[in-house]
C-alpha cells in the first residue's frame, strides 16, 4: 500500500465524512460483522425522484470498515438508487485503493452490505443481501 493511500484511509477513519444520525431518514439499516462485533448504521434520505438527498452513517470498528464506510457514503450523495444497486465489491476495493486480503474483505464490505440492505428495503425488494455477499461467517 502506498503511503498516500494509507494516509487517505487513516484520514477517513479519524475524520469520517457524513458521520452521525440523520433525522427524518427515509430508511436506516444497521449491520455488524459477527466475527468481531464491529458495526455500521446507514441512514438515507431519499427524494421523490429516487435520488439520495443525504446519506450519513455511524459506526465503530476497525480502520478498514470505518474508512470504507466514510468513502462509500461520501460517494453516494445525490446518486440515484438504481446506480447504487449496481455498486459491487470491486467499487469498494477501488475506493480504498489497496489490495484487501481475505481476512479483511468482510471489514471492507460491511458498509456496502448495510447500504444495499437499506436500498433494497427502500425498493421493497426481497432482501437478497446475504446471498449477494456470500455470507459464510467464516
Ligand atoms: Fe471488525 Fe474489521 S475487524 S470489521
CA of 69 to the centre of ligand 1 (A): 12
Count of CB atoms within 10 A of residue 49's CB? 8
Residue 136 predicted with pLDDT over 60: no
Better pLDDT: 90 or 3: 90
* pLDDT range class, residue 124, cuts 50, 70, 90: confident
pLDDT (tens digit per residue) in 18-51: 999 999 999 999 999 999 999 999 999 999 999 9
Of 31, 62, 133, best ligand 1 pocket probe by most atoms within 8 Å of the beta carbon: 62
- Domains of the chain with bracketed CATH: 3-122 (3.90.1010.10)
pLDDT (tens digit per residue) in 106-117: 999 999 999 999
Q: Which residues of 3-38 are buried (b: 16+ CB within 10 A; e: fewer)?
A: eeeeebbeebbeebebeeebeebbbbbebbbeeeeb
Q: Whose CA is nearest to atom 3 of ligand 1?
A: 62
pLDDT at 38: 97
Amino acid at each position: 500500500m502506498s503511503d498516500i493511500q494509507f494516509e487517505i484511509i487513516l484520514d477517513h477513519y479519524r475524520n469520517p465524512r457524513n458521520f452521525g444520525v440523520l433525522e427524518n431518514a427515509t430508511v436506516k439499516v444497521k449491520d455488524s460483522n459477527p466475527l468481531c462485533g464491529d458495526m455500521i448504521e446507514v441512514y438515507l434520505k431519499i427524494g421523490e425522484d429516487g435520488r439520495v438527498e443525504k446519506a450519513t452513517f455511524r459506526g465503530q470498528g476497525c480502520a478498514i470498515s470505518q474508512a470504507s464506510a466514510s468513502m462509500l457514503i461520501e460517494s453516494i450523495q445525490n446518486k440515484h438508487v438504481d446506480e447504487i444497486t449496481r455498486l459491487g465489491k470491486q467499487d469498494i476495493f477501488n475506493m480504498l485503493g489497496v489490495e484487501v486480503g481475505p481476512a479483511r474483505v468482510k471489514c471492507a464490505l460491511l458498509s456496502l452490505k448495510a447500504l444495499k440492505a437499506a436500498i433494497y428495503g427502500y425498493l421493497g425488494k426481497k432482501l437478497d443481501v446475504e446471498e449477494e455477499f456470500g455470507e459464510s461467517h467464516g
